[in-house]
Chain A
């Protein structure tokens, strides 16, 4: 069989902007102001390893996970061409499986903990078996075992497999939760307004997905003694006109806490984070939406 396949390495303008401008700056600040040494990276960079190559000045070693054999082979090639092969450890298998089982298909494990974790997923976050949320939860637990803070960047497909209505359930849970914490009864109406907006079928699903992910990270992070700071999610059109959503979250470990901690960024702050959309290098708010806190 002699065949020809499409170009090996590809990206698009939006992805380039996120990776090379926004994320790169977040990584730079995390390295220079928080960690103050080169970062240990764990990620799903695909064969191109464009993120690793772009952020390379801030990285020490990087552990990559790849589930497709030929892609992993190309990753090895790419690492050699970029002269970074010696700093790479590549695991083979599904990210979720490796996180949950602790080992790849050859029995090798990630060398925990990491300073920077970049998960550029194929597909969405929620599927019926919830393996992805379970894997992220495990990842946070692993980091916590080492009391090690990290910068978490997640990119995923907007279309998920939420057949079980996980996001809708979350909205109702949050309505109750925020109301129960609220002592000012005059705010109850605005809480309902905001939650009604999230629950409304005409509200784009991306709003619920952004809320779900940020609240998920905040909840699981705080349970493991991390002070979690979420940034507004970013929507963009990726390669092949796919709708993508991008999250940057800082998790700082508060090792002295004996139990669940409360982050400086409150739940209300997280609910009020608006989704931004990226268009030709410009970020703007995606929706006009009600806020819990007046602007």
Chain B
């Protein structure tokens, strides 16, 4: 007889010692807001699971996730598939998960108890469609922490399962079998984790990391949403509401809005180098814009928004990886993994890289990807993003310089045109203006050769034509002689000796430049102006 067949079933979590639960849960969430992500992720998966059967049972419940704050509790409610008695009982088993790798966002099974890292209690109530029971789960985390600390001092070591059983309670009530929902209450949140009770911080964080749609206040949103639906098979933005403290609630969207002045986005499909027909990720990107020629065009700067300090202003600079709509890592991760150099160019852009290949797996803390073949392929193929965006950044830079130079020189040509109209030229300024016009036309020619924006190019051509006209007119213009070199001896109160010196200098110059009258007037005029400034 095989003795193993008689053994009691041993779960992995039986081998986890109680103190490890605390270490595991606390170290996983250095940023406390990440606890919310765990519950949104579970809620999102529950909505997807219910979505798979809702048409069969003809249930019209609106799929949504609602987040609210009450007292020192944070609540996450969803109208997803819910949990039955077995599912709720499994909450007692740490690191237990039946999530389907490649089908759902989370997969490690630790996140369901994430709340114990930040609060004294965790309460979960759930019912699934067809189940006449509402199941409740309560985890008295503080009570458990105190006991584990006490036992550590006494040298008592127990398995996590035993300890969790003692500090959790399960019970159920009767409920309408048609109901299906889950509510998580993270109760008595620690003072040190108060960002979890701050609606502004929550809204910003959830908008940034969760699978939500684009804001209706972002003019490119609908177009991008459509592109993502077409190119990312599991793209499924969720409706998430956050209750604020004034009796209203706001739907949470991605952070992009028109006020940020975002130029027209672009897209880059990322294909498997070994099989170019297989799209493994899809990137959309956009740059900071400025109003140029009546439209928002790329400005060629690090992507910045309004904010108090540098970090806040630059918080959307860079691309972010998305898996099942959830962010993986921060905006420095694509820069570090796809750019070999010129990482600063990565910050010119904002946008998302939606990963389609589900062989790419996030690490438990969602700060990076697990090292595997799929990840290596993604990083290699993703170089296309950096090369495309670096080229694009150069184009943007060239176009921006073309526009700013054209704008500056147009003003200069207009000023010259006004002087021509006023007929205020003497020989000295005429020569300078001719040289300046020629130089400026040369600058425009150089900018035109690199400009790829048709509208800016058109504008540049118009200004060049205008400048050429000014140049031609300057060539044909003769000095009017109304402003001979003045006798400044009286004005400056020169002594007779000084006046004699001044006359000698001017006569010498006149002789020296006898074949170049323009130059003579130019130099003598400079001398006069210098003396005026000095004396």
Contacts and interface: CB of A to CB of B under 8 A. Distances in A.
B173 A80 contact: no
Contact of B243 (A73, A74, A86): A86
B77 A85 contact: yes
A5 B71 contact: no
Given A8-B173, A8-B174, A80 B72 contact: no
Contacts of B183: 73, 76-77, 80
A8 B125 CA distance: 12
A1 B169 contact: yes
A80 B169 CA distance: 23
Contacts of A60: 247
B241 interface: yes
Contacts of A74: 125
B333 interface: no
Interface in A90-142: 90-92, 104, 106, 108
Contact of A5 (B66, B121, B123, B171): B171
B185 A2 contact: no
A74 B245 CA distance: 20
Interface in B172-228: 172-175, 179, 181, 183, 185, 187
Contact of A7 (B72, B77, B173, B249): B173
A4 interface: yes
Interface residues on B, range: 35 or more
A209 interface: no
Interface string A52-82: 0000000011000000011011101100110
Interface in B308-350: none
B174 A91 contact: no
Contacts of B248: 86
A286 interface: no
Contact of B73 (A4, A76, A87): A76
Contacts of A4: 133, 171-173
A48 B317 CA distance: 47
Interface string A1-30: 111111110000000000000000000000
B174 to A, nearest CB: 5
Contact of A6 (B70, B77, B173): B173
A73 B66 contact: no
A73 B249 contact: no
| Chain A interface residue number, banded | 20 to 34
B71 A85 contact: no
Contacts, number: 84
B89 interface: yes
Contacts of B169: 1, 3
A87 B71 contact: no
B68 A85 contact: yes
B491 to A, nearest CB: 78
B115 to A, nearest CB: 13
B236 interface: no
Given A1-B169, A73-B185, A106-B71, A8 B175 contact: yes
A276 interface: no
Contacts of A91: 71
Contacts of A86: 66, 68, 241, 243-244, 247-249
B70 A80 contact: no
Nearest to B175: A8
Nearest to B182: A77
A80 B66 contact: yes
A89 interface: yes
Contact of B123 (A61, A73, A89, A90): A73
A8 B183 CA distance: 15
Interface string B282-311: 000000000000000000000000000000
Interface string B53-86: 0000000000000101011110101000000000
Contact of B170 (A1, A76, A77, A92): A1
Given A8-B134, A86-B248, 14 more contacts: A4-B171, A5-B171, A8-B174, A69-B187, A70-B123, A73-B123, A73-B125, A73-B185, A80-B75, A80-B183, A85-B243, A92-B71, A104-B71, A106-B71
21 contacts: A1-B169, A1-B170, A2-B171, A5-B172, A6-B173, A7-B174, A61-B247, A69-B121, A70-B123, A73-B183, A76-B75, A76-B185, A80-B68, A81-B179, A81-B181, A86-B249, A88-B70, A89-B70, A89-B245, A91-B71, A106-B72
Interface of B: 66, 68, 70-73, 75, 77, 89, 121, 123, 125, 133-134, 136, 138, 169-175, 179, 181, 183, 185, 187, 241, 243-245, 247-249
